[in-house]
Amino acid sequence: MPLKILVTAKRVEDPESKIKVRPDGSGIVTEGVNYKMNPFDEIAVEEALRLKEKHGGEVVVASIGTDKSATEIRSALAMGADRGVLVRHDGPLDPVVVSAVLQKVVEQEKPDLVVLGKQSIDDDQNQTGQWLAERLGWPQATFASKKESLESEAEQKKQPGLGLAGDGKVLRVTREVDGGVETIDVALPAVVTTDLRLNKPRFASLPGIMKAKKKEVREVAAAALGVDLAPRVVVRRLEEPPKRKGGVRVADVAELWAKLHGEAKVL
Amino acid sequence: MSSVLVLAEQSHGHLRKASLAALSAGRELAKRTGGKVSALVLGKGAGPAAEALAALGAEVRLADAPVLEHYLAEAYSPVVAEAARAAGATWLVAAATAQGKDLLPRAAAKLGAACATDVLGFGGQGASVLLRRPMWAGNVVAEVELTTPVKAFTIRPTEFPPPAQGAGGGVSPFPVSLDPASLRTRFVEFQEVKSERPELTEARVVVSGGRGTKGDFKEIEALADALGAAVGASRAAVDAGWVPNDWQVGQTGKVVAPELYIAAGISGAIQHVAGMKGAKVIVAVNKDPEAPIFQIADYGLVGDLFKILPELRERVKAAK
Ligand SMILES: Cc1cc2nc3c(=O)[nH]c(=O)nc-3n(C[C@H](O)[C@H](O)[C@H](O)COP(=O)(O)OP(=O)(O)OC[C@H]3O[C@@H](n4cnc5c(N)ncnc54)[C@H](O)[C@@H]3O)c2cc1C
Ligand SMILES: Nc1ncnc2c1ncn2[C@@H]1O[C@H](COP(=O)(O)O)[C@@H](O)[C@H]1O
């Protein structure tokens, strides 16, 4: 059964970038910082593409943000997604607001499955998928992973980690949880959020990048969707945490032992 | 007046230690906001966990029903929301475990309660109390305000002390009316990573390995066992399939704050450091003298982990 899948692609600071707080604590220094698709969202896009390759269907990618977020949508289209939806909004966002906006997108697009990242690496909230699932009244499978390792043959063959069962009406999801891995079945439509071991995302090919330029990206203003855009998680102030001071180099194990045993008294 | 509801996590009747920190956080919040605290324990056969909390002076509601046998967000969240309404809760608090992070936002959404993740502490008093939480892999600490009438957050367990003994605790049942047939989620199986070692997030000593082990964790594990320590890993080691996922320390894995953290063959990427910089003492063993891990290590030893760790293990054994 072909699947219509909605994936999300958030524009975030490159994890390799150095993040510094502005002296007045009002935000981070953005000069010299690179931006890219949230790494967990790349995994979401990859998984959606593998599901489509195996079962057929369509992959629609959505992003909420300023015009600049069109770049992340194009990145997903270059990986192979079919269409984009850019919900324009210039202002602070939080999981309450983003999930309300995504609910509207879901109502318009009517996907069988929504795949999000488990966590944005800027706000580190790990909430949006859970909020969206509740708003839609759909089951959720967060922290999706798979039993095979990222070095396995299944991964090399780009097999999806999410398994369709029950005549395509049920999705089997292996989840990374405390103390092991759990497997659950969720009836479609459902919301899934991705963890790191679900797959290794592909790089966009040159033809992929060329094709992406011609793919459709629908734009809509968040304000036109009829949702309350007032942030409910309001960041009042940012600061840099106290830095850990580097300590000393020790010459050998004997000295290390002396320090741990005699000085720090942790052994 | 505020009413704080602490969601405690249990498995097979055992209360998770992280939930004790959540109780402490709930109590501190109640003090700041002038309110009271109660707790909620869910699960089939969760009675002993509820009793353990009550013994610390907590007023506990226990939702014990067959439909709650396996944790499922879809099944637990309506019970949490109902209990929160029944208690007149204005705040929901849980530990930022895998379960807490899965459950709390969904329960909060049912209550229209804005939610903050991984709270480290509080600022201010009264209704406008601020929550301190990490962002950008712990590069930044933010003070956030939740503007909804009911509010929710998960706490980072390493940041809160175990709760003091209190008086007046007790357990009362909370009825569960959930129809199992309404659920669209089904538990299939749990593959436990069995281990004799202490739990990673609770261990006094953690020995972690990274890509520098080249997949051979024998020396990491042998040192850990000599020290009675837990074993951790970098993302690189987990992604390679060398060790269980559950061992990953960092921004997107576990956060640990042991007395001693030994990082061997780990470069010290910010995402890893986010999960271990709360350790009291950090030791780095790395053959690259320029590795960033040395900038945060209390004791750095440049060299080959396959040579250094066995030597250290011998020292440990000799001292016993
Ligand atoms: C979205 C996102 C989330 C992430 N989350 C996490 C996370 O939660 N946790 C995490 O750890 N990482 C995380 N990372 C990955 C992180 O950025 C680094 O890539 C990772 O931590 C590197 O692991 P490593 O230090 O083992 O490997 P490397 O950086 O390759 O370092 C290996 C080190 O081993 C040393 N070495 C080699 N051989 C020896 C030897 N014989 N003896 C001694 N030393 C030796 C080398 O000098 C080197 O410093 C995340 C990244 C992203 C993008
Ligand atoms: N502005 C956004 N645009 C698109 N997707 C988003 C946005 N914010 C959050 N998401 C999705 O929600 C996931 C979890 O985000 P968070 O709850 O903020 O940690 C991310 O990995 C994205 O997939």
Q: For the segment A226-254, what is each residue's pLDDT rounded down to a tens digit?
A: 999 999 999 999 999 998 888 999 999 99
> Averaged over A180-193, what is the pLDDT?
98
CA distance A218 to A62: 9
Question: pLDDT grade, residue A1 (50/70/90)?
Answer: confident
Expressed in angstroms and rounded, the spacing between residue B210 Cα and the centre of ligand 1 is: 6
Nearest CB to B301; choose among A172, A236, A250: A250
B14 touches chain A (CB under 8 A): no
Question: pLDDT grade, residue B249 (50/70/90)?
Answer: very high
Nearest-by-CA chain A residue for B149: A232
CA distance B293 to B134: 20
DSSP conformation class of A17: S
The crossing angle, in degrees rounded to 10, of helices B73-87 and B98-111 is 50
Q: Kindly state the percentage of chain A with pLDDT values over 90.
A: 96
For ligand 2, say whether the CB of A142 is within 6 Å of any of its atoms: no
| Strand residue runs (E) in chain B | 2-8, 10-11, 14-15, 35-42, 59-63, 91-95, 114-119, 121-123, 130-135, 140-146, 151-155, 170-173, 185-192, 205-209, 230-233, 260-264, 281-286, 299-302
Residues of B in contact with A23 (CB under 8 A): none
Give the position, in ligand 1's atom list, of the atom nearest the Cα of A15: 53
pLDDT averaged over chain B? 97
Question: pLDDT grade, residue A171 (50/70/90)?
Answer: very high
Q: Do A182 and B190 touch (CB under 8 A)?
A: yes
Nearest-by-CA chain B residue for A251: B301
Expressed in angstroms and rounded, the spacing between residue B97 Cα and the centre of ligand 1 is: 23
Q: Do A176 and B282 touch (CB under 8 A)?
A: no
Query: What residue has token string 């949508």?
Result: A73
Structure tokens at B309: 């760790």
pLDDT at A166 over 80: no
Q: A5 with A48: CB under 8 angstroms?
A: yes
Gyration radius of chain A's alpha carbons: 21
**pTM, two decimal places:** 0.98
Chains A, B: CB pairs < 8 Å: 249
Q: What is the pLDDT of residue B96?
A: 98
pLDDT tens digits for range B72-126: 999 999 999 999 999 999 999 999 999 999 999 999 999 999 999 999 999 998 8
Mutate to test the interface with B, among A16, A121, A184 (most CBs of B within 10 A): A184
Structure tokens at A50: 């593998």
Question: pLDDT grade, residue B1 (50/70/90)?
Answer: confident
> Which residues 106-145 in chain B show a CB within 8 A of chain A?
106, 108-110, 114-118, 130, 133-145
For ligand 2, say whether the CB of A10 is within 6 Å of any of its atoms: yes
Question: Any alpha helices (H) in chain B, and if so which ranges?
Answer: 17-33, 47-54, 73-87, 98-111, 218-227, 235-239, 270-273, 305-319
pLDDT at A152 over 80: yes
DSSP conformation class of A26: S
Mutate to test the interface with B, among A132, A162, A181, A233 (most CBs of B within 10 A): A233
Q: What is the pLDDT of residue A245?
A: 87
Report helix, strand or coil for B58. Answer: coil
Phi, psi (deg, nearest 5) at residue B159:
-95, -5
* Min Cα separation A17/chain B (Å): 10
pLDDT at B283 over 80: yes
Q: Kindly state the percentage of chain A with pLDDT values over 70.
A: 100
- Between A92-106, B39-53, B117-131, the lowest mean confidence (pLDDT) is in B117-131
pLDDT tens digits for range B4-29: 999 999 999 999 999 999 999 999 99
Give the position, in ligand 1's atom list, of the atom nearest the Cα of B266: 25
Report helix, strand or coil for A181. Answer: strand
